[in-house]
A and B are shown apart, each in its own frame.
Chain A
């Protein structure tokens, strides 16, 4: 597939992220368990032992960053997979059957879009004292599917008028067959665009939740690192590095996801070039 330079750049950036997430914990120079707490070396600068310095409890920043990549990758892949599966299924059903099903689905979509999405995420994770990964995933999927459903429904409404769909119906294809064989394969391309943007936004939301102190209680996430850093921001020169590093990591992933998403969309619809 021919892609623009910036889309390739986005793809490369995401590949680096996926590699860091997959290999990170293996290549991380230090463990992050309690044993790694080293109060002799708080907020140290860059050294051969700690390339990016250490945090408030003397743990290695680079190792935290790499473990953070693992948790971000796990979370974003799971959330995108689940919410796209749910959203595409619901959107396809609504677009194909229309009528009451469509009406109900669109009203639910209206409700979910009637207030900022992060509120729902906060409300769900705040239901328990220590949300685990499953609850965070559920919270992000609770409104994550809406974007995919809208894309799928819009595509199906256009596709159902196509001759080949009419032909399939005329040949006696069941609803199930039309949807599985003729509709869904043809809406995968726009869905991919949505997935690419989704990859970035999941990371941002997770980081926001962790930052508010209600994220998944994982050992290390980029959002939790940012949250830790801001409490010490005025202490030493090296806290600033600790505060910036996870932020840059998030920027890297979100920028990559946006560049790729933009590029894919341009490829699909040249008229939209340069638009959001």
Chain B
């Protein structure tokens, strides 16, 4: 299969998945009890104000028309209107998402850097000292990273970094220093997965003939490990890291909540709680699109860097 056909096929199934996710969200929002107008206007709002919000959201139209309207807003790039006061010319959902998205992306990127910085040494050490207590220790540390709930770890980080040491700004701050603690919280979780991946990839590579050759010609162990082994072991690790980028977004839902940070995760949770249909739909669409695109990019980069996969 040529790369073009592959790309086309994957884009097609990705678009289908995003559409499906949108339909699913739409169905959930509309088939269940709970009136968005109550939340946005307040329970005892005058009928006129309620009517305005209803019209702004298009809730007075049949469901298929509402969904078509949503698709229309996807095409024109506004993702619909937030309808805060029933004002159809107010800020759009796209505005709101564009406003918070940089915070989430910064958090995800910093979290990924933390994860890689912790995972590579842990995994490499575990692989070199395989079967010793160092290996067991490194494995236990990385397993705990997955097992410790972020709901405990993140508040403790705040306690330690903000209250006890006073080195870092507390919750609700968004400066460059304020990203340290949330990035640590989100990164340790991912670190676990990457460290174990690094370890198994290194173990495999260290058993290869070319590593034996490198050792046989008398290269220093450091050169063998870092230049010969790690360079080859790092590819699958990067792949997993890329695939996990999406999971950083779901991690952001909890972390942004604990740290009261603006972001797509906290926006979405707020919107779900207040039943703001257009915002929920828009945020889910954006997250699903990021998921699909990241997975596609990872697959592509994998295929490009390894010709054996490209042909298959």
Contact = CB atoms under 8 A, between A and B. Distances in A.
B172 interface: no
A250 B149 contact: yes
Contacts of B254: 208, 211-212
Nearest to A240: B159
Nearest to B149: A250
Given A226-B149, A247-B152, A276-B197, A111 B268 contact: no
A47 interface: no
Interface stretch (A63-71, A73-81, A113-121, A167-175): A113-121
B21 interface: yes
Interface string B129-159: 0000000000100011011110111011011
A28 interface: no
Given A108-B20, A123-B25, A274 B152 contact: no
Given A107-B16, A212-B269, A255-B143, A115 B284 contact: yes
Given A114-B21, A223-B151, A274 B200 contact: yes
Interface string A232-258: 011000001001101110110011001
Given A200-B147, A276-B197, A119 B268 contact: yes
Contacts of B159: 233-234, 240
A41 B203 CA distance: 55
B247 interface: yes
Interface string B199-211: 1100100000000
A255 B146 CA distance: 8
A255 B144 CA distance: 7
B287 A275 contact: no
Interface residues of B: mostly helix, strand, loop or mixed? helix
B64 to A, nearest CB: 19
A188 interface: no
Contacts of A251: 144, 147-149, 152
Nearest to A222: B149
B181 to A, nearest CB: 14
B155 A233 contact: yes
B282 to A, nearest CB: 13
Interface range on chain A (Cβ under 8 Å from partner): 35 or more
A110 interface: yes
Interface in A163-187: none
B273 interface: yes
Contacts of B100: none
A111 B269 contact: no
Interface in B180-202: 193, 196-197, 199-200
B249 to A, nearest CB: 6
Given A240-B159, A251-B144, A276-B196, A118 B21 contact: no
A254 B146 contact: yes
B276 to A, nearest CB: 12
Contact of B152 (A126, A244, A275, A276): A244
A207 B197 CA distance: 27
A206 to B, nearest CB: 10
Interface stretch (B28-36, B72-80, B86-94, B216-224): B28-36
B143 A258 contact: yes
B17 A230 contact: no
Contacts of A119: 250, 253, 268, 284, 287
A35 interface: no
B18 interface: yes
A213 B155 CA distance: 16
Interface centre among A127, A240, A274 (most CB of B within 10 A): A274
Contact of B17 (A114, A126, A212, A234): A114
A122 interface: yes
6 contacts: A107-B20, A113-B291, A114-B20, A119-B268, A247-B153, A250-B149
Interface of B: 13-14, 16-18, 20-21, 24-25, 28-29, 32-34, 139, 143-144, 146-149, 151-153, 155-156, 158-159, 163, 193, 196-197, 199-200, 203, 240, 246-247, 249-250, 253-254, 257-258, 268-269, 272-273, 280, 284, 287-288, 291-292
Give the top 3 A-B pairs by smallest Cβ distance, nearest first.
Answer: A247-B152, A116-B250, A111-B20
Interface of A: 107-108, 110-111, 113-120, 122-124, 126-128, 200, 204, 207-208, 211-212, 214, 223, 226-227, 229-230, 233-234, 240, 243-244, 246-248, 250-251, 254-255, 258-259, 273-276
Given A114-B288, A116-B291, A254-B149, 8 more contacts: A110-B16, A113-B17, A116-B247, A212-B257, A229-B155, A247-B148, A247-B152, A276-B193
